[in-house]
Amino acid sequence: MKAIVQDRYGSVEILALEDIDKPVPKADEVRVRVRVAGLDPSVWHLMTGRPYLVRAAFGLRKPKLRVPGWDFAGKVEEVGAKVTAFKPGDEVFGVGNGSFAEYVCADEGKVVPKPANVTHEQAAAVPTSGITALQAVRDKGRAEAGQRVLVVGAGGGVGTFAVQLAKEFGAHVTGVCSTSKTDLVTSLGADEVIDYTREDFAEGTHRYDLILDTAGMRPLPRLRSVLTPRGTLVLVGGEGEGRLLGGSGRTFHAAALSPFVRHKLRPMFSVPHKEELETLSALLENGKVTPIIDRSYPLNEAPEAIRRLQEGHSRGKAIIAVA
């Protein structure tokens, strides 16, 4: 099969399109013929091995996972001996190791049926970013009707889902994004949009019950300054500068500070579960959440897609058209 592969850490130049063997599903896995793969910032982190903290889990000297990519949508080709929920021919989407390839194997518990009224392109854009947003808004943030919610990075992959989910929970949502994305964030239902190139939200008079920071570039004191006295700050992922810890340094600081302040400081790194995929699938099917697709790239242009993502140009999600 054709796949994007990497044998060392580095920039996009280390990625190559090669022919490799099909993966063989384990007893509790399904093998899926990938139609479309999704792209999120974790792909860049595992490609570069930065911050260096990620190498502790994914390989100190070179990546353990030779094929990048997690999210996919496609058709089940083969099922393991213990799989009961799927059969060959089922159209599905989910999370597996190495989705930038014509075939991927995934645990049965990280795959769900694709709704008939949802395209493969839409479905592939959902898993990692959608689950991250759902965990941030619902589980860590505990968003409620009537709350004022600020989404920093509202025009990105996680942010576009977070805006829609917060509105679904009945919150008054303010999105923070760049000039080129203000129209997009408004179209997602945001009640207010702040263009950070023209206005600093931390210097305004509004206070927020919940802040979801998906961008990772603002210091904790600036974010806390616009929280209500007992507001909640959710720090999504580890985006930020620094070769060793990246944005995780700020995350560790928040975790250490949280017991001593009235604000609820909640760092989070998402872990995919079937229940969340099922929840998102239902929201997709009912039209309550719509994936925003920036651009589709053919498999051989995956390096360019990763480059554009890291430069911050994407409006919503980039996807890789494999088949």
276 falls within a domain:
no
Query: In the predicted model, what is the mean pLDDT of residues 218-246?
Result: 80
For 9, 106, 125, 183, 250, the CA distances from 189, given in Å and listed in that order, are: 40, 34, 19, 10, 30
Q: Are residues 93 and 167 in the same domain?
A: no
DSSP string for residues in 38-84: E--HHHHHHHHT-SGGGHHHH-SSS-S-SS---EEEEEEEEE-TT--
pLDDT for res 73: 98
Stretch 217-234: mean pLDDT, rounded?
A: 92
Into how many domains does the chain fold? 2
Write down the pTM of the prediction.
0.92
For residue 239, is it within any domain? yes
Residue 210, pLDDT above cutoff 60: yes
177 shares a domain with 83: no
In the predicted structure, residue 258 carries a pLDDT above the cut 80: no
**Does a structural domain hold residue 217?**
yes
Which pLDDT belongs to residue 21? Answer: 97
Do 70 and 90 lie in a common domain?
Answer: yes
Q: Which domain holds residue 188?
A: 129-268
Are 163 and 175 contacting, i.e. CB atoms less than 8 angstroms apart? yes
Q: Which residues contact 111 (CB under 8 A, 6 or more apart)?
A: 30, 32, 85, 86, 92, 93, 94, 95, 96, 274, 277
Structure confidence at residue 61 (pLDDT): 86
Q: Are 303 and 14 in contact (CB under 8 A)?
A: no
How far apart are the C-alpha atoms of 268 and 56, rounded to whole Å?
18
Same domain, 181 and 253: yes
CATH number at residue 152: 3.40.50.720
**Residues 121 and 149 grouped into a single domain:** no
Burial code (b: 16+ CB inside 10 Å, e: under 16) for 72-81 equals: bbbbbbbbbe
Q: Please check whether residues 168 and 295 belong to one and the same domain.
A: no
Domain match, 44 and 95 both: yes
Instruction: Check which CATH number belongs to the domain holding 306 and give it.
Output: 3.90.180.10
Is residue 278 domain-resident?
Answer: no
- pLDDT-derived band at 56 (thresholds 50, 70, 90) equals confident
**Within-domain flag for 314:** yes
